[in-house]
Structure 1
Amino acid sequence: MAEKPILHRDNPDAEPLIGNIKVTRTDWLNVAMDVLVTDGVEQVKVLALAERMGVSRSSFYWYFKSRQELLDALLTSWDQTNTAGLITQAETPAETITAAVLNVFRCTTNPELFNTALDFAIRDWSRRSGPVRNLLDASDARRVQALADMFRRFDYPDLEARTRARVLYYMQLGYDMAGLNEPYEQRVSMTGSYLEVFTGKPANPDELAEFAIYAKQYWRA
Protein backbone atom coordinates (compact mmCIF):
# COMPACT_ATOMS: atom_id res chain seq x y z
CA MET A 1 0.00 0.00 0.00
CA ALA A 2 1.46 3.36 -1.02
CA GLU A 3 2.39 5.76 1.73
CA LYS A 4 -0.06 8.67 2.01
CA PRO A 5 1.25 12.14 1.23
CA ILE A 6 1.85 14.24 4.33
CA LEU A 7 1.92 17.62 2.61
CA HIS A 8 2.24 19.34 -0.73
CA ARG A 9 4.79 21.78 -1.98
CA ASP A 10 3.64 25.39 -2.44
CA ASN A 11 3.23 24.73 -6.16
CA PRO A 12 -0.20 23.01 -6.40
CA ASP A 13 0.80 21.33 -9.68
CA ALA A 14 3.85 19.66 -8.16
CA GLU A 15 3.92 16.11 -6.92
CA PRO A 16 3.04 15.71 -3.24
CA LEU A 17 5.85 15.12 -0.80
CA ILE A 18 6.05 11.56 0.47
CA GLY A 19 7.64 10.37 3.66
CA ASN A 20 8.79 11.88 6.91
CA ILE A 21 8.45 15.55 5.95
CA LYS A 22 6.24 17.24 8.51
CA VAL A 23 6.74 20.96 8.03
CA THR A 24 5.43 23.54 5.59
CA ARG A 25 6.94 26.65 4.08
CA THR A 26 5.05 28.66 6.69
CA ASP A 27 6.65 26.57 9.44
CA TRP A 28 10.11 27.39 8.13
CA LEU A 29 9.22 31.08 7.93
CA ASN A 30 7.70 31.17 11.41
CA VAL A 31 10.66 29.48 13.06
CA ALA A 32 13.10 31.66 11.13
CA MET A 33 11.12 34.72 12.24
CA ASP A 34 11.33 33.62 15.87
CA VAL A 35 15.09 33.18 15.61
CA LEU A 36 15.49 36.51 13.84
CA VAL A 37 13.62 38.29 16.63
CA THR A 38 15.27 36.53 19.55
CA ASP A 39 18.82 35.89 18.31
CA GLY A 40 19.44 38.07 15.26
CA VAL A 41 19.87 37.35 11.57
CA GLU A 42 23.27 35.66 12.01
CA GLN A 43 21.54 32.77 13.76
CA VAL A 44 19.00 32.21 10.99
CA LYS A 45 20.77 29.15 9.59
CA VAL A 46 19.20 26.27 7.73
CA LEU A 47 20.75 23.48 9.82
CA ALA A 48 19.88 25.17 13.11
CA LEU A 49 16.28 25.72 12.00
CA ALA A 50 15.98 22.11 10.86
CA GLU A 51 17.30 20.86 14.21
CA ARG A 52 14.85 23.08 16.05
CA MET A 53 11.96 21.57 14.10
CA GLY A 54 13.33 18.04 14.21
CA VAL A 55 13.40 17.57 10.46
CA SER A 56 16.01 16.96 7.80
CA ARG A 57 17.74 19.99 6.36
CA SER A 58 16.90 18.68 2.90
CA SER A 59 13.21 19.47 3.47
CA PHE A 60 14.14 23.16 3.48
CA TYR A 61 14.93 22.96 -0.22
CA TRP A 62 11.40 21.94 -1.15
CA TYR A 63 10.45 25.55 -0.36
CA PHE A 64 13.55 27.70 -0.71
CA LYS A 65 16.45 27.64 -3.13
CA SER A 66 18.86 29.08 -0.60
CA ARG A 67 19.23 30.74 2.78
CA GLN A 68 19.18 34.09 0.98
CA GLU A 69 15.75 33.29 -0.44
CA LEU A 70 14.55 32.60 3.11
CA LEU A 71 15.99 35.92 4.29
CA ASP A 72 14.28 37.70 1.41
CA ALA A 73 11.01 36.05 2.40
CA LEU A 74 11.43 37.30 5.96
CA LEU A 75 11.89 40.84 4.68
CA THR A 76 8.81 40.50 2.49
CA SER A 77 6.78 39.22 5.43
CA TRP A 78 7.95 42.15 7.57
CA ASP A 79 7.01 44.65 4.88
CA GLN A 80 3.60 43.06 4.32
CA THR A 81 2.89 43.01 8.05
CA ASN A 82 4.38 46.15 9.55
CA THR A 83 4.64 48.67 6.75
CA ALA A 84 1.38 47.65 5.13
CA GLY A 85 -0.31 47.43 8.54
CA LEU A 86 0.65 50.94 9.60
CA ILE A 87 -0.25 52.43 6.23
CA THR A 88 -3.63 50.68 6.26
CA GLN A 89 -4.39 52.04 9.73
CA ALA A 90 -3.34 55.56 8.71
CA GLU A 91 -5.65 55.36 5.68
CA THR A 92 -8.65 54.01 7.62
CA PRO A 93 -11.54 56.50 7.38
CA ALA A 94 -12.20 58.53 10.53
CA GLU A 95 -14.45 61.45 11.40
CA THR A 96 -11.80 63.34 13.38
CA ILE A 97 -8.02 63.55 13.43
CA THR A 98 -7.98 62.17 16.97
CA ALA A 99 -9.97 59.13 15.82
CA ALA A 100 -7.52 58.74 12.92
CA VAL A 101 -4.54 58.74 15.30
CA LEU A 102 -6.32 56.20 17.50
CA ASN A 103 -6.56 53.99 14.42
CA VAL A 104 -2.77 54.19 14.21
CA PHE A 105 -2.51 53.44 17.93
CA ARG A 106 -4.50 50.27 17.26
CA CYS A 107 -1.81 49.24 14.81
CA THR A 108 0.92 49.39 17.43
CA THR A 109 -1.35 47.94 20.12
CA ASN A 110 -2.30 44.80 18.20
CA PRO A 111 0.73 42.62 17.29
CA GLU A 112 -1.24 41.10 14.41
CA LEU A 113 -1.30 44.53 12.78
CA PHE A 114 2.26 45.53 13.66
CA ASN A 115 4.95 43.25 15.08
CA THR A 116 7.11 45.61 17.15
CA ALA A 117 9.72 42.98 18.05
CA LEU A 118 10.14 42.12 14.38
CA ASP A 119 10.57 45.79 13.49
CA PHE A 120 13.38 46.11 16.02
CA ALA A 121 15.02 42.95 14.66
CA ILE A 122 14.96 44.38 11.14
CA ARG A 123 16.48 47.63 12.42
CA ASP A 124 19.26 45.69 14.11
CA TRP A 125 19.84 43.70 10.90
CA SER A 126 20.02 46.93 8.89
CA ARG A 127 23.07 48.06 10.89
CA ARG A 128 25.06 45.28 9.23
CA SER A 129 23.47 45.20 5.79
CA GLY A 130 23.36 48.02 3.27
CA PRO A 131 20.50 46.51 1.23
CA VAL A 132 18.39 45.98 4.37
CA ARG A 133 19.18 49.54 5.46
CA ASN A 134 17.88 50.76 2.11
CA LEU A 135 14.69 48.74 2.50
CA LEU A 136 14.19 50.07 6.00
CA ASP A 137 14.74 53.68 4.92
CA ALA A 138 12.20 53.23 2.13
CA SER A 139 9.74 51.65 4.56
CA ASP A 140 10.13 54.45 7.10
CA ALA A 141 9.55 57.01 4.35
CA ARG A 142 6.35 55.27 3.22
CA ARG A 143 5.06 55.08 6.78
CA VAL A 144 5.76 58.74 7.54
CA GLN A 145 4.23 59.74 4.20
CA ALA A 146 1.03 57.85 5.07
CA LEU A 147 0.85 59.61 8.44
CA ALA A 148 1.47 63.01 6.84
CA ASP A 149 -1.30 62.30 4.33
CA MET A 150 -3.55 61.43 7.26
CA PHE A 151 -2.97 64.86 8.81
CA ARG A 152 -3.45 66.58 5.44
CA ARG A 153 -6.89 64.98 5.11
CA PHE A 154 -7.87 67.00 8.16
CA ASP A 155 -6.60 70.25 6.62
CA TYR A 156 -3.26 70.55 8.39
CA PRO A 157 -0.83 72.65 6.30
CA ASP A 158 1.81 70.61 4.51
CA LEU A 159 4.78 71.44 6.75
CA GLU A 160 2.74 70.93 9.91
CA ALA A 161 1.35 67.64 8.58
CA ARG A 162 4.85 66.35 7.85
CA THR A 163 6.17 67.51 11.21
CA ARG A 164 3.32 65.99 13.20
CA ALA A 165 3.71 62.75 11.23
CA ARG A 166 7.38 62.51 12.15
CA VAL A 167 6.72 63.31 15.80
CA LEU A 168 3.98 60.68 15.98
CA TYR A 169 5.97 58.00 14.18
CA TYR A 170 9.36 58.39 15.83
CA MET A 171 7.87 58.93 19.28
CA GLN A 172 5.93 55.68 18.92
CA LEU A 173 9.08 53.82 17.88
CA GLY A 174 10.98 55.19 20.84
CA TYR A 175 8.11 54.46 23.20
CA ASP A 176 8.01 50.84 22.12
CA MET A 177 11.80 50.51 22.19
CA ALA A 178 11.85 51.72 25.80
CA GLY A 179 9.73 48.72 26.76
CA LEU A 180 7.94 50.58 29.52
CA ASN A 181 6.31 48.24 32.02
CA GLU A 182 3.16 50.29 32.44
CA PRO A 183 -0.07 48.96 33.89
CA TYR A 184 -3.05 49.16 31.57
CA GLU A 185 -4.80 51.82 33.64
CA GLN A 186 -1.84 54.18 33.54
CA ARG A 187 -1.22 53.77 29.86
CA VAL A 188 -4.82 54.23 28.79
CA SER A 189 -5.31 57.19 31.14
CA MET A 190 -2.64 59.11 29.20
CA THR A 191 -4.06 58.41 25.75
CA GLY A 192 -6.12 61.58 25.61
CA SER A 193 -3.12 63.71 26.54
CA TYR A 194 -0.99 62.00 23.92
CA LEU A 195 -3.64 62.70 21.31
CA GLU A 196 -3.72 66.38 22.20
CA VAL A 197 0.07 66.58 21.93
CA PHE A 198 0.09 64.83 18.53
CA THR A 199 -2.90 66.62 17.01
CA GLY A 200 -3.46 69.85 18.93
CA LYS A 201 -7.07 68.74 19.37
CA PRO A 202 -8.92 67.37 22.41
CA ALA A 203 -10.05 63.78 22.09
CA ASN A 204 -13.72 62.82 22.12
CA PRO A 205 -14.56 60.80 25.27
CA ASP A 206 -16.44 58.24 23.18
CA GLU A 207 -13.38 57.73 20.99
CA LEU A 208 -11.22 57.20 24.05
CA ALA A 209 -13.68 54.76 25.61
CA GLU A 210 -13.84 52.70 22.42
CA PHE A 211 -10.07 52.59 22.16
CA ALA A 212 -9.68 51.62 25.82
CA ILE A 213 -11.91 48.59 25.25
CA TYR A 214 -9.86 47.60 22.19
CA ALA A 215 -6.49 48.11 23.90
CA LYS A 216 -7.42 46.06 26.95
CA GLN A 217 -7.33 42.94 24.77
CA TYR A 218 -3.61 43.43 24.20
CA TRP A 219 -2.22 45.53 27.07
CA ARG A 220 -1.64 43.57 30.23
CA ALA A 221 -3.52 44.87 33.25
Structure 2
Amino acid sequence: MADKPVLHRDDPDAAPLVGNIKVTRADWLNVAMDVLITDGVEQVKVLALAERMGVSRSSFYWYFKSRQDLLDALLTSWEQTNTIGMIGQAEAEAETIAAAVLNVFRCTANPQLFNTALDFAVRDWARRSGHVRNILDMSDARRIDALTAMFRRYDYAERDAETRAKVLYYMQLGYDMAGLNEPYDQRLSMTGAYLEVFTGQAASPEELAEFADYAREFWRP
Protein backbone atom coordinates (compact mmCIF):
# COMPACT_ATOMS: atom_id res chain seq x y z
CA MET A 1 0.00 0.00 0.00
CA ALA A 2 1.43 3.38 -1.02
CA ASP A 3 2.39 5.90 1.64
CA LYS A 4 -0.21 8.57 2.18
CA PRO A 5 1.13 12.00 1.15
CA VAL A 6 1.72 14.23 4.15
CA LEU A 7 2.72 17.49 2.51
CA HIS A 8 -0.05 18.69 0.27
CA ARG A 9 0.73 22.39 0.53
CA ASP A 10 -2.58 24.19 0.50
CA ASP A 11 -0.64 27.17 1.86
CA PRO A 12 2.47 27.45 -0.35
CA ASP A 13 3.82 30.31 1.79
CA ALA A 14 3.76 28.31 4.98
CA ALA A 15 7.03 27.76 6.84
CA PRO A 16 8.99 24.62 5.88
CA LEU A 17 8.26 21.50 7.86
CA VAL A 18 11.04 20.34 10.17
CA GLY A 19 11.96 17.18 11.95
CA ASN A 20 12.28 13.55 10.93
CA ILE A 21 9.74 13.55 8.15
CA LYS A 22 9.34 10.82 5.57
CA VAL A 23 8.16 12.32 2.32
CA THR A 24 6.64 10.45 -0.60
CA ARG A 25 6.79 10.89 -4.34
CA ALA A 26 3.37 12.51 -4.16
CA ASP A 27 4.74 15.01 -1.62
CA TRP A 28 7.51 16.10 -3.95
CA LEU A 29 5.01 16.34 -6.79
CA ASN A 30 2.47 18.32 -4.73
CA VAL A 31 5.03 20.86 -3.56
CA ALA A 32 6.49 21.16 -7.06
CA MET A 33 3.01 21.80 -8.41
CA ASP A 34 2.40 24.52 -5.82
CA VAL A 35 5.65 26.22 -6.86
CA LEU A 36 4.82 25.86 -10.55
CA ILE A 37 1.47 27.57 -9.96
CA THR A 38 2.68 30.34 -7.68
CA ASP A 39 6.19 31.07 -8.98
CA GLY A 40 6.55 29.50 -12.44
CA VAL A 41 8.55 26.58 -13.80
CA GLU A 42 11.92 28.33 -13.40
CA GLN A 43 11.52 28.08 -9.61
CA VAL A 44 10.81 24.35 -9.63
CA LYS A 45 14.26 23.35 -8.39
CA VAL A 46 15.21 20.33 -6.35
CA LEU A 47 17.14 22.16 -3.63
CA ALA A 48 14.45 24.82 -3.22
CA LEU A 49 11.74 22.15 -2.94
CA ALA A 50 13.77 20.24 -0.35
CA GLU A 51 14.26 23.40 1.72
CA ARG A 52 10.55 24.13 1.46
CA MET A 53 9.76 20.74 2.97
CA GLY A 54 12.65 20.75 5.44
CA VAL A 55 14.15 17.52 4.07
CA SER A 56 17.34 16.46 2.36
CA ARG A 57 17.33 16.74 -1.41
CA SER A 58 18.84 13.25 -1.59
CA SER A 59 15.37 11.82 -0.95
CA PHE A 60 14.27 13.35 -4.23
CA TYR A 61 16.32 10.78 -6.14
CA TRP A 62 14.44 7.89 -4.59
CA TYR A 63 11.48 8.95 -6.72
CA PHE A 64 12.79 10.93 -9.69
CA LYS A 65 15.80 10.47 -11.94
CA SER A 66 16.28 14.19 -12.48
CA ARG A 67 14.59 17.57 -12.40
CA GLN A 68 13.39 16.88 -15.94
CA ASP A 69 11.76 13.68 -14.73
CA LEU A 70 9.88 15.77 -12.16
CA LEU A 71 8.83 18.30 -14.81
CA ASP A 72 7.56 15.47 -17.01
CA ALA A 73 5.58 14.14 -14.05
CA LEU A 74 4.02 17.58 -13.53
CA LEU A 75 2.88 17.62 -17.15
CA THR A 76 1.45 14.12 -16.81
CA SER A 77 -0.45 15.13 -13.66
CA TRP A 78 -1.82 18.21 -15.44
CA GLU A 79 -3.03 16.14 -18.38
CA GLN A 80 -4.60 13.52 -16.13
CA THR A 81 -6.45 16.17 -14.14
CA ASN A 82 -7.43 18.79 -16.69
CA THR A 83 -7.51 17.13 -20.09
CA ILE A 84 -8.84 13.77 -18.94
CA GLY A 85 -11.19 15.53 -16.52
CA MET A 86 -12.76 17.73 -19.18
CA ILE A 87 -13.00 14.91 -21.71
CA GLY A 88 -14.69 12.72 -19.12
CA GLN A 89 -17.26 15.40 -18.40
CA ALA A 90 -17.90 15.96 -22.12
CA GLU A 91 -18.49 12.23 -22.57
CA ALA A 92 -20.77 11.85 -19.54
CA GLU A 93 -24.31 10.72 -20.28
CA ALA A 94 -27.01 13.40 -20.26
CA GLU A 95 -30.58 13.53 -21.51
CA THR A 96 -30.25 16.96 -23.13
CA ILE A 97 -27.50 19.13 -24.57
CA ALA A 98 -28.11 21.60 -21.75
CA ALA A 99 -27.45 18.88 -19.19
CA ALA A 100 -24.37 17.81 -21.15
CA VAL A 101 -22.91 21.32 -21.07
CA LEU A 102 -23.72 21.56 -17.38
CA ASN A 103 -21.63 18.42 -16.91
CA VAL A 104 -18.74 20.32 -18.52
CA PHE A 105 -19.49 23.34 -16.33
CA ARG A 106 -18.71 21.14 -13.33
CA CYS A 107 -15.07 21.56 -14.34
CA THR A 108 -15.35 25.24 -13.39
CA ALA A 109 -16.50 24.31 -9.90
CA ASN A 110 -14.55 21.20 -8.97
CA PRO A 111 -10.73 21.49 -8.99
CA GLN A 112 -10.50 17.70 -8.96
CA LEU A 113 -11.96 17.78 -12.47
CA PHE A 114 -10.11 20.84 -13.72
CA ASN A 115 -7.42 22.82 -11.91
CA THR A 116 -7.66 26.28 -13.47
CA ALA A 117 -4.55 27.67 -11.76
CA LEU A 118 -2.51 24.70 -12.97
CA ASP A 119 -3.79 25.17 -16.51
CA PHE A 120 -2.67 28.80 -16.49
CA ALA A 121 0.73 27.79 -15.12
CA VAL A 122 1.24 25.27 -17.91
CA ARG A 123 0.19 27.85 -20.51
CA ASP A 124 2.75 30.25 -19.10
CA TRP A 125 5.35 27.45 -19.19
CA ALA A 126 4.49 26.80 -22.85
CA ARG A 127 5.57 30.34 -23.74
CA ARG A 128 9.10 29.34 -22.74
CA SER A 129 9.22 25.79 -24.08
CA GLY A 130 8.43 24.52 -27.56
CA HIS A 131 8.09 20.99 -26.19
CA VAL A 132 5.45 22.06 -23.67
CA ARG A 133 3.75 24.19 -26.32
CA ASN A 134 3.34 21.08 -28.50
CA ILE A 135 1.90 19.11 -25.59
CA LEU A 136 -0.48 21.96 -24.77
CA ASP A 137 -1.63 22.24 -28.38
CA MET A 138 -2.40 18.52 -28.48
CA SER A 139 -4.30 18.74 -25.19
CA ASP A 140 -6.33 21.71 -26.41
CA ALA A 141 -7.18 19.79 -29.59
CA ARG A 142 -8.29 16.74 -27.60
CA ARG A 143 -10.53 18.87 -25.37
CA ILE A 144 -12.13 20.64 -28.32
CA ASP A 145 -12.62 17.32 -30.16
CA ALA A 146 -14.42 15.93 -27.10
CA LEU A 147 -16.67 19.00 -26.86
CA THR A 148 -17.38 18.85 -30.59
CA ALA A 149 -18.36 15.20 -30.29
CA MET A 150 -20.63 16.12 -27.38
CA PHE A 151 -22.57 18.56 -29.54
CA ARG A 152 -22.71 16.09 -32.43
CA ARG A 153 -24.37 13.54 -30.14
CA TYR A 154 -27.32 15.91 -29.90
CA ASP A 155 -27.66 16.24 -33.69
CA TYR A 156 -25.75 19.46 -34.27
CA ALA A 157 -24.21 19.61 -37.72
CA GLU A 158 -20.44 19.16 -37.86
CA ARG A 159 -19.58 22.82 -38.46
CA ASP A 160 -22.09 24.01 -35.88
CA ALA A 161 -20.84 21.48 -33.34
CA GLU A 162 -17.21 22.53 -33.78
CA THR A 163 -18.06 26.22 -33.60
CA ARG A 164 -20.11 25.84 -30.42
CA ALA A 165 -17.39 23.67 -28.89
CA LYS A 166 -14.74 26.32 -29.52
CA VAL A 167 -16.95 29.13 -28.24
CA LEU A 168 -17.66 27.15 -25.08
CA TYR A 169 -14.02 26.19 -24.53
CA TYR A 170 -12.33 29.49 -25.26
CA MET A 171 -14.96 31.50 -23.43
CA GLN A 172 -14.44 29.39 -20.33
CA LEU A 173 -10.66 29.76 -20.47
CA GLY A 174 -10.95 33.52 -20.97
CA TYR A 175 -13.57 33.86 -18.25
CA ASP A 176 -11.32 32.20 -15.71
CA MET A 177 -8.18 33.96 -16.92
CA ALA A 178 -9.86 37.35 -16.47
CA GLY A 179 -9.99 36.72 -12.72
CA LEU A 180 -13.27 38.56 -12.37
CA ASN A 181 -14.22 39.79 -8.92
CA GLU A 182 -17.65 38.28 -9.33
CA PRO A 183 -19.70 36.70 -6.53
CA TYR A 184 -20.41 33.05 -7.21
CA ASP A 185 -24.14 33.54 -6.81
CA GLN A 186 -24.03 36.12 -9.57
CA ARG A 187 -22.14 33.72 -11.79
CA LEU A 188 -24.65 30.99 -11.05
CA SER A 189 -27.52 33.34 -11.88
CA MET A 190 -26.13 33.66 -15.42
CA THR A 191 -25.88 29.92 -16.03
CA GLY A 192 -29.17 29.57 -17.88
CA ALA A 193 -28.39 32.51 -20.17
CA TYR A 194 -24.93 31.16 -20.96
CA LEU A 195 -26.44 27.77 -21.80
CA GLU A 196 -28.82 29.33 -24.30
CA VAL A 197 -25.91 31.10 -25.98
CA PHE A 198 -23.83 27.92 -26.16
CA THR A 199 -26.60 25.52 -27.16
CA GLY A 200 -29.48 27.55 -28.59
CA GLN A 201 -31.73 25.73 -26.13
CA ALA A 202 -33.05 26.46 -22.67
CA ALA A 203 -32.18 24.30 -19.68
CA SER A 204 -34.96 23.07 -17.44
CA PRO A 205 -35.30 24.50 -13.92
CA GLU A 206 -34.42 21.07 -12.57
CA GLU A 207 -31.18 20.93 -14.57
CA LEU A 208 -30.16 24.39 -13.38
CA ALA A 209 -31.03 23.61 -9.77
CA GLU A 210 -29.02 20.38 -9.82
CA PHE A 211 -25.95 22.19 -11.16
CA ALA A 212 -26.34 25.02 -8.63
CA ASP A 213 -26.43 22.53 -5.77
CA TYR A 214 -23.29 20.85 -7.10
CA ALA A 215 -21.40 24.12 -7.64
CA ARG A 216 -22.20 25.50 -4.20
CA GLU A 217 -20.49 22.48 -2.64
CA PHE A 218 -17.23 23.91 -4.01
CA TRP A 219 -18.02 27.63 -4.19
CA ARG A 220 -18.86 28.19 -0.55
CA PRO A 221 -17.21 31.36 0.83
Q: What is residue 30 of structure 2 aligned with on the other side?
A: 30
What residue ranges of structure 2 are gaps of 5+ in the alignment? Answer: 5-19
Asked if 2 retains the 8 angstrom alpha-carbon contact of 1:151 and 1:161, the reply is yes
Alignment of 1:210-221 (within 5 A): 210-221=210-221
Structure 2 equivalent of residue 99 of structure 1: 99
TM-score scaled to structure 2, two decimals? Answer: 0.90
* Residues 119-176 of structure 1: per-residue CA shift (max 9 Å, x gap): 0000000000000000000000000000000000000000000000000000000000
| Cα pair 1:21 1:59 within 8 Å, conserved | no
**Other-structure match for 2:158:** 158
Distance 2:51 2:34 in 1: 14
Q: How does 1:186-201 map onto structure 2 within 5 Å? A: 186-201=186-201
Superposition deviation, residue 217 in structure 1: 1.3
User: Hey, what does 2:15 align to over in structure 1?
Assistant: none
C-alpha distance in structure 2 between counterparts of 1:98 and 1:21, whole Å: 49
Corresponding residue pairs, total? 204
2:218 is paired with a residue whose SS is coil
Identity %: 79
d(CA) in 2 for partners of 1:103 and 1:43?
35
Larger Rg: 1
The 5-angstrom pairing of residues 1-221 of structure 1 reads: 20=20, 22-221=22-221
Question: 2: CA distance between counterparts of 1:99 and 1:113?
Answer: 17
- Measure the CA separation in 2 of the matches of 1:58 and 1:114: 32
For 2:57, the aligned partner's letter is R
Q: TM-score, normalised by structure 1?
A: 0.90
Change (3 A) 1:64 1:21: farther
Runs of 5+ consecutive residues of structure 1 not aligned to the other structure: 1-6, 9-19
**Structure 1 residue 183, shift from structure 2 partner:** 1.4
- The alpha-carbon deviation at position 220 of structure 1 amounts to 3.9
Shift of 1:21: 5.6
